[in-house]
Amino acid sequence: MKRGTAFLAALALAFSTWGVAQEQTEPPSPAKNLPFDIGERLVYDVSWMGIKGGEAFLYIKNQLEMADSTVFAVNLIARSTGWLRTFYKVDDHSFSYFDAVNIRSLGVDIKISEGDYRKSKVIEFDHKRNVAIYKVDNDKPEEYPAYHNSHDSFSALYAFRSMRDKIKIGESVMIPVFDDRKKYELEIKTLRKERITLDSGAMIDTVVVEPQLKSEGIFQRRGSMTVWFSDDKVFAPVQVKSKIVIGAFYARLREWRGADINVIAPAGAANAAQPGGAPSNARKEIHDTPGAGSN
């Protein structure tokens, strides 16, 4: 097996056999007060010009205890649905291995399937050498310089969430990222606080940010993007707006699990139900994500 895929394959095997064998040494605990944990699942409806055409699943599937770290397996599935899937089939899968002790990425496996377009991308980080091993489709793996404790474009989302106590209105934070054969500092500017209403009618207080887009992934480079994070201890992304040439795409939180998002009952309905009939401040229980566990 070629370098650049062997490491991630070994990690995937370790996750799949977790519970069968474990290291005897006690691994370090994840960084204190992380706003997310194993079992968090977020489900979004994706729409364009007010017309629903897809859904996305974002969840922390599993964890692996290693000698020097605790690793979270983070999965993203995005797919077209309904009428749009008939004309344009989208099935994108991303699997990132997030070092929850050192707050960095160990690697990411991305598979893109959009219409006739296909792309497979694997990045493995060698943090001791500050190197990223990059492989696209069947090309030979290549090494590129990377920042210390770099992130992939997917794990950058979780790195930002872990920085919630440092977020200030009008200021930016920088996250070291490697993608598309280059390293760069991802700037995320905090714009304002805002109360939004989800399609369910539930209201959530949020912190609104704008990533400076440079690569594919959660923070994509196509057009401009605005993200609304819940203004609470979990700091979860509840809404994303991505502007394109014509109109904008929205991803709005529909269901969640394992994330204690602070939901405010709609005005005039103190006992109003949250998505799925859950009481205020409850977590919406969802079924296993279709296709979960595959990448």
Amino acid sitting at position 26: E
60-64, 70-74, 176-180, 257-261: the lowest-pLDDT one: 60-64
Rounded distance, CA 105 to CA 293, Å?
Answer: 19
Residue 142 predicted with pLDDT over 60: yes
Task: Give DSSP secondary structure letters for the chain.
Answer: --TTTHHHHHHHHHHHTTTT---SSPPPPPPTT-S--TT-EEEEEEEETTEEEEEEEEEEEEEEEETTEEEEEEEEEEEE-HHHHHHS-BEEEEEEEEETTTTEEEEEEEEEEETTEEEEEEEEEETTTTEEEEEETTSPPEEEE--TT-B-TTHHHHHHHTTGGG--TT-EEEEEEEETTEEEEEEEEEEEEEEEE-TTS-EEEEEEEEE---SSSSS-SSS-EEEEEESSSS--EEEEEEE-SSSEEEEEEEEEES----PBPPTT-TT---GGGPPTTPPPP-PPPTTTT--
Average pLDDT over residues 115-130: 93
- Closest CA relative to residue 11, chosen from 101, 105, 152: 105
Average pLDDT over residues 261-281: 49
Mean pLDDT computed over every residue of the chain: 79
pLDDT band (50, 70, 90) for residue 1? very low
pLDDT band (50, 70, 90) for residue 201? confident
Percent of the chain with pLDDT over 90: 53
pLDDT at 54: 92
Q: 245: alpha, beta or left, given left = phi > 0 and alpha = psi -120 to 50?
A: alpha
pLDDT band (50, 70, 90) for residue 30? low
The structure tokens listed for 253 are: 């939180």
pLDDT at 266: 54
Which tens digits make up the pLDDT trace of 71-108? 999 999 999 998 888 888 999 999 999 999 889 999 99
Which tens digits make up the pLDDT trace of 45-74? 998 878 888 999 999 987 887 667 889 999
Which tens digits make up the pLDDT trace of 219-244? 344 557 899 999 999 999 999 998 77
32-46, 161-175, 192-206, 271-285: the lowest-pLDDT one: 271-285
Residue 118 predicted with pLDDT over 70: yes
pLDDT at 265: 63
Is 209 or 48 the better-scoring residue by pLDDT? 209
pLDDT at 186: 92
pLDDT band (50, 70, 90) for residue 16? very low
Residues 6+ apart with CB under 8 A from 245: 223
pLDDT band (50, 70, 90) for residue 31? low
Is 69 or 271 the better-scoring residue by pLDDT? 69
Rounded distance, CA 196 to CA 204, Å?
Answer: 6
Rounded distance, CA 241 to CA 90, Å?
Answer: 19
